[in-house]
Structure 1
Amino acid sequence: MTNQQLKLRMMIVTALFAAIIGVLAQMTIPLPLVPITGQTLAIGLAATILGSRYGTLSVILYIIIGAVGVPVFAEFSGGFSKLVGPTGGYLVGFIPAVFLIGFYMEKTSFNFKNAMIANSIGMLITLAFGTAWLKIAADLSWTAAFKGGFTPFIIVGLIKAALASWIGVLVRDRLISAKLLFSQKTELPKSA
């Protein structure tokens, strides 16, 4: 496989993960201020399977697609107004979260323990961005923003972090075994 073919494959996988995030975003449990969605599970999967570079690119692509109006955000919504609205901080927080999850995994190893640590940190980053943004955009007190945008998501976030870790490591190992994905330790093929 040439470098050009590998780049094409990774662009396709990146786009596929952007689509997966959009699909899982539609799995929602409505709450008064911010719904619980499958987005954070998908973010964790993207980072755990693809690593920092391609995981981050998939999230950026997802956000761009949603920002231009395609209804890929939670509850089939889209548009730039979602990014600057009360829940926009969660979407923006996905970018540093996915990068740091993937970066942590690349610097340690792709096993469940490290994935759980990384995904838990990523969840906290997303919640911190979302809560701060919610406080400003909705003109709430810090206490109200914390109660509405952080506290209700801790337990669910840890469950999603565990699922993303377990499924992500399993899928990554299988994709590497099938030579559909290359690990950091695998030397990439030379151009022909």
Structure 2
Amino acid sequence: MKSKTYSYVITAFGAAIIAVLAQITIPLPLIPITGQTLAVGLIVTILGTKYGTLSVLLYILLGAIGLPVFSGFSGGFGVLVGPTGGYIIGFLVQAYIMGIYMDKFRTSYLHAIISNIIGMVITLAFGTSWLKFVGDLSWTAAFMGGAAPFIIVGIIKALMAAWLGVLVRKRLESAHLLPQLT
């Protein structure tokens, strides 16, 4: 269980979960609501900094080379430089910072909620900033199209990711399937 193969499988599984949940999409005029942020928060809450961040990196790399893992079964480098690219790149920063926080506080529901809300803010900040420049928008327009519609939904997803992530992590730890990951 402490093999490199096991670590690779855990990382790939995390990336796969993100890819699957990315396909849950609610279209909006500029940026859709997707399951990606829920998935990133969930995976990092379960796997911590190293494997959570590696899962997100793998997900981004798979999408960048053209596999249809991004929302709407899209993929390719063009997605990363398009209007949603800032959110996707923000997932990597979200994962790393959330992971550091989660590793420090382990399986506390309160800290998982705090970590996931911090992650939501990070992703929205990256996405809105990128949208402003790529879309040649004012800061107000970028915020109204790229952050405001996602705040309430983001909090709900943060609560869901924290609750489910801590539940799964505790169960995996009790089954001795995660000790080597932290």
TM-score band w.r.t. shorter chain: over 0.9
Aligned to 1:169: 166
Aligned to 2:31: 34
Aligned to 2:118: 121
Query: What one-letter code is carried by the residue in structure 2 that aligns with 1:164?
Result: A
Q: What's the secondary structure of 2:16's corresponding residue?
A: helix
Aligned to 1:87: 84
User: Once the two structures are superposed, what CA deviation does each residue of 1:118-139 show, in whole Å capped at 9, x if it has no partner?
Assistant: 0000000000000000000011
Query: What one-letter code is carried by the residue in structure 2 that aligns with 1:66?
Result: G
TM-score when normalising by structure 2: 0.97
Counterparts of 1:59 and 1:109 in 2: how far apart (Å)? 19
Aligned to 2:17: 20
* Structure 1 residue ranges (4+ consecutive) displaced by more than 3 angstroms after TM superposition: none
> Structure 1 pair 61/184, CA: closer, same or farther in 2 (3 Å)?
closer
Which 5+ residue runs of structure 1 have no aligned equivalent?
Answer: 186-192
Counterparts of 2:52 and 2:160 in 1: how far apart (Å)? 17
Counterparts of 2:38 and 2:166 in 1: how far apart (Å)? 13
- Provide the identity percentage: 63
101, 104, 109: which is aligned to 2:106? Answer: 109
Aligned to 1:65: 62
Q: Which has the higher helix share?
A: 2
Aligned to 1:139: 136
Aligned to 1:97: 94
Range moving further from structure 2, 109-118 or 28-37: 109-118
Query: What one-letter code is carried by the residue in structure 2 that aligns with 1:127?
Result: L
> Structure 1 pair 18/36, CA: closer, same or farther in 2 (3 Å)?
same
Deviation at 1:108, TM superposition (A): 2.3
Q: Is the 8 A contact 2:48 2:181 kept in 1?
A: no
Deviation at 1:72, TM superposition (A): 0.5
Counterparts of 1:27 and 1:184 in 2: how far apart (Å)? 28
Q: Is the 8 A contact 1:106 1:184 kept in 2?
A: no
Aligned to 2:177: 180
Counterparts of 1:38 and 1:12 in 2: how far apart (Å)? 22
Deviation at 1:113, TM superposition (A): 0.1
Q: Over aligned residue pairs, what C-alpha RMSD do you find?
A: 1.2
* Residue 153 of structure 2 corresponds to residue 156 of structure 1: yes
User: Once the two structures are superposed, what CA deviation does each residue of 1:133-189 show, in whole Å capped at 9, x if it has no partner?
Assistant: 00000111100000000000000000000000000000001011111111778xxxx
Query: What one-letter code is carried by the residue in structure 2 that aligns with 1:46?
Result: I
TM-score when normalising by structure 1: 0.92
Across the two proteins, how many residue pairs are aligned to each other?
182
Bigger CA radius of gyration: 1
